[in-house]
Structure 1
Amino acid sequence: MRKYKQLLLANKAWSFELRDESPDFFARHVGGQKPDFLWIGCSDSRVSPEQMTMTPPGGMFIHRNIANLVNEDDKNLMSVLQYAVGVLEVEHIIVCGHHGCGGMRAALDGGTDGVLDEWLDNARRVYHSNAAEIDGASTEEGRLNRLVEVNVRDQLVRLAHTKTVQDRWANGQKLALHGWIYDLRDGLIKPLMEVDATTRLDEVQAPERVL
């Protein structure tokens, strides 16, 4: 059987199972969504936000891109952020990286071209700004994983500086930003840091090593 047909069969089984347990499961979603979280993560096929957090449909608004980068000129992400904060009124935004990230590896090793190479400019800036610490790791895996961790910190700070987030805080509305790492080796999420309206962004330090 062609692989794409397996996806359709799996979808039917999933839909049947949920409706069997709760006949109005999908009917409840027709009226709209009210997720608690915005997830900004990597596009890596091994990292599935809803599955690894056991979040049901409707619980999480999701944006994914290569290396979980926050670029202010990325209209896709900026529109997702505006909608999540301004319309859905999420109170938590998670930036989640993962060890062994291919995007971060490419930022270290090069070998990319075209649009992908341009996209990774942000990641390369993170490396160059923290090269001494990253290159101090004893192994190539450690070097890559430290870049992954520092990148989450830097993207979280970039997110905190966006107009959407700053306006939310200026209005006295609750919004917390969380930096996490997903470990492919054991399937566990490891919190790195949190940022809120009281955080001095110019004083945010590199997170403790977790990998």
Structure 2
Amino acid sequence: MKLLKPLFDNNRRWANRILEENPKFFEQLAQQQNPEYLWIGCSDSRVPSNQIIDLMPGEVFVHRNIANMVIHTDLNCLSVLQYAVEVLKVKHIMVVGHYGCGGIKASMGKERLGLIDNWLGHIRDIHRLHAKELAELDDKTRFDRLCELNVIEQVGNVASTTIVQDAWERGHKVAVHGWIYSVDNGLLSDLDVTVDIDTFRSR
């Protein structure tokens, strides 16, 4: 525990700083959460959702996993998605990838890695779908592009879930966005692949 004491010290300083700015912050936060956003991002420690978009606790609902994947058999992710859409009634779902993603890089290699290969197989499927485009790129550009293509694919996966489809049927105007984060400059970019209720109705 002594080794972890600095973390508790950090926590107390943080809580005190918040209380100095807003004495009723935690009291109000304890009553409810009312986020407008669901962030589906990578587990990478360099990509912390709240800090990147400068939002306080309670303002963004978060799900993170290796390479920001949305897999239709992943009950963890689907449970988060259902709660966000049906209970919290978020207005925006952001799938957020990042350049330099370790999961994407691992999927590009041929080495067997164990259990995680079952997870990375979904990214390798994306690579196969876009093999012609990716083959024409140099190594760095190919890596970056696969990070982007993965986000685009996951946006489609979110939009095709029964959770989101049913929400649109009910008239809930939740939109699904695809963003990518640059660790080297701290900036987000919109990949312009937003899917919303109007897209759904125009099919």
Q: What is the TM-score with the length of structure 2 in the denominator?
A: 0.94
- Alignment-derived partner of residue 110 in structure 2: 110
Q: Report the CA distance shift for 1:4/1:148 in structure 2 as closer, same or farther (over 3 A).
A: same
Q: Report the CA distance shift for 1:169/1:200 in structure 2 as closer, same or farther (over 3 A).
A: closer
Give the 5 Å matches for 1:135-154: 135-138=135-138, 140-154=139-153
- Alignment-derived partner of residue 29 in structure 2: 29
**Distance of 1:171 and 1:137 partners within structure 2:** 43
Paired residue total: 201
Q: Report the CA distance shift for 1:20/1:175 in structure 2 as closer, same or farther (over 3 A).
A: same
| Counterpart check, 1:92 vs 2:113 | no
- Secondary structure (helix, strand or coil) at the match of 2:5 reads helix
Deviations 1:89-122 (A, max 9, x none): 0010000000010000011113243321111111
- Alignment-derived partner of residue 206 in structure 1: none
Question: Percent same amino acid among aligned pairs?
Answer: 44
Does the CA contact (< 8 Å) of 1:106 and 1:112 recur in 2?
Answer: no
Deviation of 1:21 after TM superposition, in Å, equals 1.6
Deviation of 1:197 after TM superposition, in Å, equals 2.0
- Alignment-derived partner of residue 184 in structure 1: 183
Q: What is the TM-score with the length of structure 1 in the denominator?
A: 0.91
Give the 5 Å matches for 1:57-206: 57-138=57-138, 140-193=139-192, 194-199=194-199
Deviations 1:119-166 (A, max 9, x none): 11111111110111122112x111110000011111100110000000
Q: Report the CA distance shift for 1:149/1:13 in structure 2 as closer, same or farther (over 3 A).
A: same
Does the CA contact (< 8 Å) of 2:168 and 2:200 recur in 1?
Answer: no
Which letter does structure 2 place at the counterpart of 1:50? Answer: N
- Alignment-derived partner of residue 207 in structure 1: none
Does the CA contact (< 8 Å) of 2:104 and 2:147 recur in 1?
Answer: yes
**Distance of 2:158 and 2:177 partners within structure 1:** 11
Runs of 4+ in 1 over 6 A off after TM superposition: none
Deviation of 1:59 after TM superposition, in Å, equals 0.3
**Distance of 2:3 and 2:169 partners within structure 1:** 50
Which letter does structure 1 place at the counterpart of 2:173? Answer: K
- Secondary structure (helix, strand or coil) at the match of 1:180 reads strand
**Distance of 1:18 and 1:32 partners within structure 2:** 18
**Distance of 1:198 and 1:9 partners within structure 2:** 49
**Distance of 1:77 and 1:48 partners within structure 2:** 18
Which letter does structure 2 place at the counterpart of 1:177? Answer: V
Which letter does structure 2 place at the counterpart of 1:108? Answer: M
**Distance of 1:89 and 1:9 partners within structure 2:** 35
Structure 1, unmatched stretches of 5+, are 204-211
**Distance of 1:89 and 1:185 partners within structure 2:** 33
